[in-house]
């Protein structure tokens, strides 16, 4: 397998050592940082292909690190998996809204985290020679292979979760899906995200899509559907 470069950020030396051992055993190159400031510098200098980021850091916390990296054109596309002891919905949603693609709560299993990392790399990989047709509905175009969304001539920047929700709904126009079904479709079974987080993602999607936002319809008491 290609040796993807991963930056692991945590202020606990034991966790750094545990993750570095397990990730290197899987063939990944591992960079480490124990403070928010060091994480930003390492990400900007080394440009890892994925970051595992603890939220509870001394100095600049993980949320601020995420915010800084997503505002920097050099690092904005690097996927971030949050590693956190926080389990409140508001913290999880805030991290996802900042652009994190996933999260794992402490205490955690290294095997679970590695599975999440593999899933991110699978999702972001582009298979050579495959020409996947884009979905075009009215002025909205969704290219699943390149993960690009256009409204008319304008490109729309979406988080990974927003893109996955939009693509799922647009792939089944007219079908009504519950919030729980949407979570399962884009994140898998038993994924610890509440239905409320889907509402937050939909609000963000509609705002970013502008005139095309009306294509996502709320079905009161049931969930959401994409307009036929």
Residue 1 has what pLDDT?
Answer: 43
- Residue 162: count of CB within 10 angstroms of its CB: 22
Asked if 115 and 143 sit in the same domain, the reply is no
Task: Identify the DSSP state of 174.
Answer: T
Q: Between residues 187 and 1, which one has the greater pLDDT? A: 187
Task: State which of 124, 153, 169 marks the end of a domain.
Answer: 124
The domain total for the chain is: 2
Residue 208, domain CATH: 1.10.10.10
Domain with residue 110: its CATH number is 3.40.50.2300
72 domain-assigned: yes
Q: Do 111 and 36 fall into the same domain?
A: yes
For residue 188, the model assigns a pLDDT of: 66
* Residues 184 and 118 both lie in one domain: no
CB-based contacts of 124, cutoff 8 Å, min separation 6:
79, 147
Most confident of 96-100, 181-185, 199-203: 199-203
Residues 92 and 157 in one domain: no
**130: in domain:** no
Its domain, for residue 50, covers 5-124
**Radius of gyration for the chain, computed over Cα atoms and rounded to the nearest angstrom:** 18
Q: What is the distance between the alpha carbons of residues 182 and 169, in angstroms, rounded to a whole number? A: 8
**Could you tell me whether strands 135-137 and 80-84 are parallel, antiparallel, or unpaired per DSSP bridges?**
unpaired
Q: Give 127-159 pLDDT, tens digit per residue.
A: 333 445 578 888 899 887 777 889 988 888 888
Angle at 84 between CA 63 and CA 185, to 5 degrees: 95
Both 94 and 167 in one domain: the answer is: no
């Amino acid at each position: 397998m290609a040796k993807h470069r991963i930056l692991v950020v945590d202020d606990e030396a034991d966790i750094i050592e545990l993750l570095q051992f397990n990730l290197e055993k899987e063939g990944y190159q591992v960079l480490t940082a124990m403070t928010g400031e060091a994480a930003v510098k390492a990400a900007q200098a080394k440009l890892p292909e994925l970051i595992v980021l603890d939220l509870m850091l001394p100095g600049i916390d993980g949320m601020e690190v995420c915010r800084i990296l997503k505002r920097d054109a050099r690092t904005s596309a690097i996927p971030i998996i949050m590693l956190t002891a926080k389990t409140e919905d508001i913290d999880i949603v805030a991290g996802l809204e900042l652009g994190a693609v996933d999260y794992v709560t402490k205490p955690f299993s290294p095997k679970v985290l590695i599975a999440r990392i593999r899933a991110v790399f699978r999702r972001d990989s582009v298979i050579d020679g495959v020409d996947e047709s884009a979905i075009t509905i009215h002025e909205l175009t969704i290219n699943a292979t390149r993960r690009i969304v256009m409204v008319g001539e304008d490109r729309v920047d979406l988080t990974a979760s927003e893109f996955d929700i939009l693509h799922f709904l647009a792939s089944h126009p007219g079908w009504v899906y519950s919030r729980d079904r949407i979570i399962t479709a884009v994140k898998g079974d038993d994924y610890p995200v509440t239905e409320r987080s889907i509402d937050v993602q939909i609000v963000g999607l509609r705002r970013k899509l502008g005139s095309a936002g009306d294509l996502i319809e709320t079905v009161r008491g049931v969930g959401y559907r994409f307009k036929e």
